[in-house]
Structure 1
Amino acid sequence: MTRELRRTLGVFDAVVIGLGAMVGAGIFVALAPAARAAGSGTLLLAGLALAAVVAYCNAMASARLAALYPASGGTYVYGRERLGPFWGYLAGWGFVVGKTASCAAMALTVGAYVWPEQAHGVAVGAVVALTAVNYGGVQKSAWLTRAIVGVVLAVLVGVVVVCLGASGPSLGSGPGGSPGGVLQAAGLLFFAFAGYARIATLGEEVRDPARTIPRAVPLALGIALVVYACVAVAVVSVLGAAELASSAAPLADAVRAAGVGELAPVVRVGAAVAALGSLLALILGVSRTTLAMARDGHLPRALAAVHPRFQVPHRAELVVGAVVAAVAAVGDVREAIGFSSFGVLAYYAVANASAWTLGRRGRVVAGGGLVGCVVLAFSLPVSSVVAGAAVLAAGAGVYAWRVRAGGR
């Protein structure tokens, strides 16, 4: 039975859900590959700043659109309403596929920190557990995310204090870099900023969305940027870009290098908790976009059902959880980051193009976001670009086939 979702989230809950997605994804996963691409600590920070600028443009576009279209689905809905059904479908396809990869990456991060020898098994267990939490209602998810964000921020504060109190390589140390390296680092770090999309995709469950979403999105993004910048400076100041680039657990290695090795187990727990928070928010976002696409017939309509008691898209959540668990059972964390970044940058390119149609106010920001998304997407590693483009092309092919079949 198809129903409307229940509006229970205020500004604070929306901000916390966005932070839960962003903080877990970026600090513990994306810093190392971004440092490898940038080549030095200074260029890594430049890439972080560039990713933040593009994310800000996307956030403003998403906030304006979400206030007009407060329904589940985010950019899938905006593209459909402002640009036409194909562009909405392509955005939704890119989001669902890209964020499914992100979910698997976060689940594998939990496994790598909790029990490295059995990382895939732990990852599957985490997906099953969090899918059960989401099934119980979005308010339960928000309560759990509050606890997770509190723990993670406390751990990160400890890391920053310890690292900044030690001496180590300078920010500029490293083998060097190039403008292309900065762009690639920004593209990889964008993976970390994309969590604010959870706020928009939950638009149907937010109270007073025209007021709440435009406040929550930039607030969550601003807090995340401050956290990222502080942690990046602290870690690079101890490890240097070269050692950071080769580290599998950079924050734990940083506190060891700072002479406080006894804090490393705490950091590992914080990393696992952060990844759980990100995974929780990601599953929420993917299931809501799946719900919106199912309502329009782009996915099986059975996935549009809303549970009569818990008021959640329970079938969509179960299917998303099953797919993520399957990918986590065999996937690789670092390959998932680039693939996910390409899909999500394509998603936000559609969001900015949709915002461009709203009128002159905000067009500079929307245009900057559109250009930034395209440039960063094609600055990613070649394997990520090829895989991402192939998946988008496959989605477009399925859409064209369905249109022709429907016409006949």
Structure 2
Amino acid sequence: MSKSPPDRGLPDELHRRLGVPDAVVIGLGSMIGAGIFAALAPAAGAAGSGLLLGLAVAAVVAYCNAASSARLAARYPASGGTYVYGRERLGEFWGHLAGWAFIVGKTASCAAMALTVGLYVWPGQAHAVAVAAVVALTAVNYAGVHKSALLTRVIVAVVLAVLAAVVVAALTSGASDVTRLDIGWDATFGGVLQAAGLLFFAFAGYARIATLGEEVRDPERTIPRAIPLALGISLVVYAVVAVAVLMVLGPAELADATAPLSDAVRAAGAGWLAPVVRVGAAVAALGSLLALILGVSRTTLAMARDRHLPHALATVHPRFKVPHRAELVVGVVVAVLAATADVRAAIGFSSFGVLVYYAIANASAWTLDPSEGRPHRAVPVVGLVGCLALAFALPAASVISGAAVLAVGAAVYALRRTLRSRVGA
């Protein structure tokens, strides 16, 4: 197996500084984030007593996506993730569409995470707090990816401690009732799929590891190890928290909860934990936002290198070795959205874009041959079908707006091709 390209320190190259622990932590910072504090309630509203089935479906699709992404990232250890894989395996158009879906979808996700910080820290000034969070974390990312990984490590530790406290309080309380876990078959198939799509929003963070492929040491070994590890840890955490909250609240009360984990600790007789949960939610959202800005800027860098976006965004800072212009532009756009957007609309819109992104990743993995580390044939097939099913099971407004933005991306690609052919002629 070939080794990673040497870090030559050229002006347009990023430094390979991240090992397995740092890569896993960055993935966890994205997955064990605000989603666990917010996604359970709308998912329960969609699936009812089928919430755990929805979680299982989301986990299966996420595993297939992770397996496909890990193989592709090891094969193409460059910034850009599925933008690069689609371009190399399926053609320039599919790479462009994947990159467009990722940047647009994850930019909306950044705004959602920033607003979550604001809603937990200072509900009356949520938009102002959200903008401040974006500015602060953009500055952290600007200082270098290694510093981002260190901060993410602290954030993950805090969030895991808070979640552990919630689980212990719920499971040891007199209000805990195992009969509430009964998976009733009154849940509809469409409801379970919609719940899975909403829960997938919280699982999708392992993409950050792939999009940082150019900054990972020995990517052929590091990435295939880090992605399954991060996904497996996150799945265990999500399942344990979901079971604990269901045993206290039940599906119906969970569906009506505005702050599910805070409501769970109150129902468990541990109201003193509620402020701690609020702090944990804010910290989790900050961790997700940090990693999201990191990933979006790297895909922007990759697309700018190929002139799918303005080429000026392709520069790398000579000292910090980060795509500083891309990070600043992403930070400005996210700040504007955080000042004006609605968090619920942002989550649905983001989910559609990210599922399309992973559908292209699975289609790309299908084209690998055994010598390139192809996963089992069933993996990309299940991943592709699952992504499309979950995407179109989302609320109609999310599907319509997401499809419209993808159509704009396709039109931009067609216009670029037309202009380029005229210039060439």
Identify whether the pair has TM-score above 0.5, normalized to the shorter chain.
yes
- The bucket for the TM-score relative to the shorter chain is over 0.9
Residue 367 of structure 1 pairs with residue 404 of structure 2: no
- TM-score for both structures, normalised by structure 2: 0.94
Aligned equivalent of 1:379: 393
Matched with 1:268 is 278
Find the counterpart in structure 1 of residue 90 from structure 2.
83
Residue among 20, 24, 34 paired with 2:43: 34
CA contact (8 A) 1:64 1:355 kept: yes
Percent same amino acid at aligned positions?
Answer: 77
Does residue 345 of structure 2 align to residue 331 of structure 1? no
Question: 2:106 aligned with 1:92, yes or no?
Answer: no
| 1:37-82 residue CA offsets vs partner (Å, 9 max, x unmatched) | 1112xx1111001000000000000000001100000000000000
Could you tell me which residue of structure 1 aligns to residue 301 of structure 2?
Answer: 291
- In structure 1, the residue matched to 2:63 is 56
- The residue type equivalent to 1:50 in the other structure is V
Inter-partner Cα distance in structure 1 for 2:40 and 2:342: 16
Secondary structure of the 1:9 match is: coil
Deviation at 1:339, TM superposition (A): 0.8
Q: Mind listing any 5+ residue stretches in structure 2 that lack a counterpart?
A: 1-9
> Structure 1 residue 30: deviation in Å?
1.2
Q: Which residue of 2 aligns with 1:306?
A: 316
| Partner AA of 1:163 in structure 2 | A
2:34–2:281 Cα contact (<8 Å) kept: no
Task: Give the 3-state SS of the residue equivalent to 2:39 in structure 1.
Answer: helix
TM-superposed CA distance for 1:176, in Å, is: 4.2
Distance 2:396 2:16 in 1: 42
Could you say which residue in structure 2 is the equivalent of 1:24?
A: 33
Letter matched to residue 266 of structure 1: V
Q: Residue 331 of structure 2 corresponds to which residue in structure 1?
A: 321
Counterpart of 1:405 in structure 2 is 419
Q: Is the 8 A contact 1:30 1:337 kept in 2?
A: no
Match of residue 172, structure 2, among 147, 165, 169: 165
Whether the 8 Å CA contact 2:11–2:318 is kept in 1: the answer is: no
Q: What do residues 341-386 of structure 1 show as CA deviations (whole Å, max 9, x unaligned)?
A: 1100000000000000002642210111011111111111111100
Q: Which AA in structure 2 matches 1:57?
A: C
Change in CA separation of 1:239 and 1:159 when aligned onto 2, cut-off 3 Å: same
Name 1:133's counterpart in structure 2: 140
- Conserved 8 A contact 1:175-1:242: no
**Deviations 1:214-257, CA, capped at 9 Å, x for gaps:** 00000000000000000011111111222222222111111011
Is the aligned partner of 1:47 residue 2:57? no
> Per-residue CA shift, 1:264-310, capped at 9, x if unaligned?
00010001000000000000000000000000001000100100000
CA contact (8 A) 1:174 1:241 kept: no
CA distance in 2, matches of 1:177, 1:288: 40
Partner AA of 1:223 in structure 2 = I
Residues 1:173 and 1:45: Cα distance change in structure 2 (over 3 Å):
closer
* RMSD across aligned positions (CA): 1.3
- In structure 2, distance between residues paired with 1:174 and 1:211: 43
Query: Of 117, 120, 124, which residue of structure 2 is paired with 1:117?
Result: 124
233, 244, 248: which one aligns with 1:238 = 248
CA drift at 1:152: 0.3
Instruction: Select 1:14's aligned residue among 12, 17, 23.
Output: 23
- Matched residue type, 1:380: L
Q: Aligned equivalents of 1:173 and 1:258: distance in 2?
A: 22
What TM-score do the two structures reach when normalised by structure 1?
A: 0.98
The one-letter amino acid paired with 2:268 is A
CA contact (8 A) 2:34 2:116 kept: no
* Structure 1 position 177, deviation (Å): 2.1
